[in-house]
Structure 1
Amino acid sequence: MSAPTSARYPVWLLALFVGMLALGTDEFVISGILPEVAADLGVSLGSAGQLVTAFALAFALGAPVLAFLTDRLDRKKLLTAGLLVFTLANLVVAISDAFALTLGLRVVAGLAAAVVSPTCMAIAGTAAPEGRNGRYLAVVTAGLTVALFTGVPFGSFFGHALSWRATFGLIALVSAVVLVLCHFLTPAVPGGTTTGLAARLSPIRDSRVLFLVGAMFLSGCGGLMFYNYLGGIFTARLNASAANVTAALLIVGLVGVLAVLFGGILTDKTGPRRAATFVLGGHCLALGGLALYLGNTTGSVTLAIFVLVGVWSIFAWALSPVMQAGIMAASPQRAMLAMSLGISGLYGGSAVGAAVGGYLLDQHGPATIPVVGTVFLAVAVVSAVLGTRPVAAATVTNPVATQQPTV
């Protein structure tokens, strides 16, 4: 019989949440202070925008490669090393006067984030008490969601009030604090023990993992395509004002933070298969409802559109912890590599969705974006069902003690 576990979260888990908040803020905050960065470094806005691209590409492409290369390292040591590099990269960005150096440092920061993000998820999922994996993963994932809706606006405000350099200095400071907390509080989670190359690459050959990664990719194509063009859709289709768009984004943000936690609880209560089917199915139906509404409504903003956006947000932002829990369950011995593939799948889907959405907006009109997004999500549901199909039960011993300081 297992020992009872506290319903409270350990301090180290909250430190991981703050670390992910810093990563998310670092990735997106430049978009809000781009003119200041461009003027200070003496480059065009387009060139300064490459600082965002450099970080995102390094993150997306580096995550699975670095996860494979560092698979056998202790997760705690890997986390602290990644946070140290991330902190130093942002600190030097804050004092850099050369665009080329700043661009290179953004690549370094992106690679460090590519190590830290899946490591945080692997530690949270592995060290979680029995039956609470989904909740622990949700807390970590919530860091990225909160960054998008609070960290980025605050970072932009901080940059405008003082300077863009102060924003990166603040990110470095927060990361340094997280580094210290993780060094002293995070449980030691051993790396992979199997030395064979085939075993280390097992997630890439596991059809369940690939189906789940595919579902995350398709979800990025469909759901994030709608989110990325939400403002354009509202403006072009409904003649929405700036206040209407802001209100819709605020709803997405507020609902999204709660939805991430809901996704974790749902996974713990029902298991990855039922949770994935429910969340992705709901995501597909909700976006389909938006497609029907936008296809039959023009020129006016009503309460109905805000309700539909709120419902869609529940399923869209509950997705990540549900899918990552499913990926971890499919490949528990190689969780970090498997989860890094999920991260890359979502980022890749977002990039493809942005390209497809831009084409649809220009060539076929804003109402087609949620229609095509719904098709992507329908295929994602099938992929997730295949990825969470039952397999023979296997006993996996959790090597991490769960007696940790709590708050």
Structure 2
Amino acid sequence: MNFRVFVLAVSAFVVGMVELIIGGILPLIAEDLNVSVAAAGQLITVFALIFAVSGPVLLSLTSKIERKRLYLSSLAVFFFANLFAYGSPNFEMLIAARVITAMSASLIIVLSLTIAPKIVKPAYRSRSIGIITMGVSSSLVLGVPIGVLIGDMFGWRMLFLLIALLTLVAGVIIFYFLEPIKPDHVTSLRQQMTSLKSKKIFSAHIVTLLILAGHYTLYGYFAPFLESTMQLEPFWVSVAFFVFGISAVTGGGVGGWLTDRIGPQRTVISFISLFAVILLLLPISTSSMLFPLVLVIWGMLSWSIAPAQQSYLIQTAPETSDIQQSVNTSALQFGIATGSGFGGLVVQQTSVEATAWAGSLLVILALGFALYSFRKPAGDTKPARQE
């Protein structure tokens, strides 16, 4: 495996960490900036939505720029945006900083996903995507506990300063170890929309959205789920999150390895099916010794499908593979927002235990879209020729 893939993964980890790292210290931000906790929570929502929308657009607008230069430029913007967040005098300025951070982060993550499979041998493409996915997933999963630890010790502003410093380190590493990479082709916004007219491609993106929505329907309320079903104290809730996080980090690598072995379609079908079953079993397992095993499997599956999905898109639409990976990353972000919102409705209307079963229904729906996508012919995936 090309070591530069791991360099990109480290960069993706640093950038991805900024999304949810403030989730555990929202009360500190709310108190410092004189806003409600609910208002402070919009810092996460705004980030996810801006990230989802800006990725494909920015990738298209910058498609003629040499990739290493674009990567370093994006890291520079991300660096200054976090310094801006560190010194924000009020909530409005912090929101503005989050918008800029989300835009630059979306481009960095997408560039990492599109560059990695180009700098390795074909046999390692899925695994390279899996390694980048591990970087992103570990940042999302470990962001909350890291944020709580640093926020409680040094204040919430120190988080953004730390991320800015880590971004600087990542930029230096990228500068010295990543070679210049020419863009493959120009993908216009019109071509992006045209490519999504393909039912085969569009349904594949819906699969990603529904899987993440099903996952976050439960994960967004996992702490109260544990407290309600197992009466766990805060310490053991933290342990459960840690176990889940370690499992999720390894899931991307496992998914990439298996995709290279048996192919993306078989991997997607197998993992989605198992994912749906695990979500159904989670509430039941809380009253038995099987819960730790079910928790580990759930954690691994939560991010193991991403490499197979990305590889499937590369195989299905090689002419627009960069933009499809960007759109798929956006679908992931929309899935996070959708699942969190849907989970809230489930909790209000039924109970927190029902979030697992509701999430499983969304995953089963994703399985239907996956089967539909796989059975559609590939003839309608080519983009229209640009005049």
| TM-score normalized by the length of structure 2 | 0.89
Judge conservation of contact 2:151–2:159 (CA < 8 Å) in 1.
yes
2:331 alignment partner AA: G
Q: Deviations over 1:47-92 (max 9, x none)?
A: 3333222222211121222223223333222211211110110012
1:249 aligned partner, one-letter code:
F
CA shift for structure 1 position 112: 0.6
Distance 1:373 1:45, change over 3 A: closer
What is the CA distance between 1:248 and its match in structure 2? 2.5
Correspondence for 1:132? 124
* Alignment match, 1:145: 137
CA contact (8 A) 2:2 2:120 kept: no
The answer to whether the 8 Å contact 1:252/1:313 transfers is: yes
What CA deviation, in whole Å up to 9, does each residue of 1:201-228 have, x standing for no partner?
4432333321210101110221221222
Aligned residue in 2 for 1:181: 173
Q: Which residue of 1 aligns with 2:258?
A: 266
Change in Cα spacing, 1:95 to 1:196, as seen in structure 2 (3 Å) is: closer
Task: Give the 3 Å change call, closer, same or farther, for CA 192–168 of structure 1 in structure 2.
Answer: same
Structure 2: distance between partners of 1:21 and 1:197: 28
CA deviations 1:96-125 (Å, max 9, x no partner) are: 323322211110001111111111100012
Contact in 1 for aligned 2:129/2:307 (Cα 8 Å):
yes
Contact 1:192 1:333 (C-alpha < 8 Å) held by counterparts: no
CA contact (8 A) 2:213 2:339 kept: yes
Counterpart of 1:179 in structure 2: which amino acid?
A: G
Show CA shifts across 1:283-317 (max 9, x none). 122223335x26xxxxx743222222222222222
2:67, 2:180 within 8 Å by CA — same for their partners in 1? yes
Q: SS of the counterpart of 1:365?
A: coil
Q: Which residue of 2 aligns with 1:381?
A: 367
Say whether the 8 Å CA contact 2:137–2:248 is kept in structure 1. Answer: yes
Partner of residue 13, structure 1: 5
**Structure 2 CA distance, aligned partners of 1:216 and 1:14?**
24
SS in 2 for 1:43: coil
2:290 match: 304
Cα deviation 1:142-178 (Å, max 9, x = unaligned): 1122223434423432233223222211101111121
- In the alignment, does 2:97 pair up with 1:111? no
Counterparts of 1:208 and 1:127 in 2: how far apart (Å)?
27
Contact 1:126 1:189 in 2 (8 A): no
Q: 1:362 aligns with which of 338, 341, 348?
A: 348
Distance in 2 separating the partners of 1:235 and 1:304: 17
Counterpart code for 2:105:
A
Alignment coverage as a number of residue pairs: 379
Shift of 1:255: 1.4
The answer to whether the Cα contact below 8 Å between 2:282 and 2:294 also exists between their aligned partners in 1 is yes
SS in 2 for 1:191: coil
> Which is helix-richer, 1 or 2?
2
Contact 1:360 1:369 (C-alpha < 8 Å) held by counterparts: yes
Paired with 1:159 and 1:329, the residues of 2 have a C-alpha distance of 43
Same amino acid, percent of matched pairs: 27
- Give 1:3-82 correspondences, 5 Å limit: 8-10=1-3, 12-82=4-74
Answer yes or no: is 1:315 the counterpart of 2:301. Answer: yes
The answer to whether the aligner puts 1:334 opposite 2:320 as a matched pair is yes
Shift of 1:189: 3.1
Q: 1:30 to 1:334 in 2, by over 3 A?
A: same
Q: State the match for 2:205 in structure 1.
A: 213
* Equivalent in the alignment of 2:228: 236
* Cα drift, residue 250 of structure 1: 2.3
* Partner deviation per Cα, 1:314-338 (whole Å, 9 max, x = no partner): 2222122221222222222322221
Residue 251 of structure 1 corresponds to which residue in structure 2? 243
Aligned-partner Cα distance in 1 for 2:91–2:358 = 39
Distance 1:151 1:238, change over 3 A: closer
* Residue 372 (structure 1) aligned to one of 358, 373, 378: 358
Secondary structure of 1:187's partner?
A: coil
Distance in 2 (CA, whole Å) between partners of 1:363 and 1:392 is 42
Change (3 A) 1:157 1:251: closer
Distance apart, 1:197 and its partner CA: 6.4
TM-score (norm. length: structure 1)? 0.85
Unaligned 5+ segments in structure 1 are 1-7, 295-299, 394-407
Give the CA deviation at 1:44: 3.3
3-state SS of 1:131 partner: helix
Looking at structure 1, the residues matched to 46 and 376 of structure 2 have their Cα atoms a distance apart, in angstroms, of: 39
Equivalent residue, structure 2, for 1:190: 182
Amino acid at match of 1:364: T
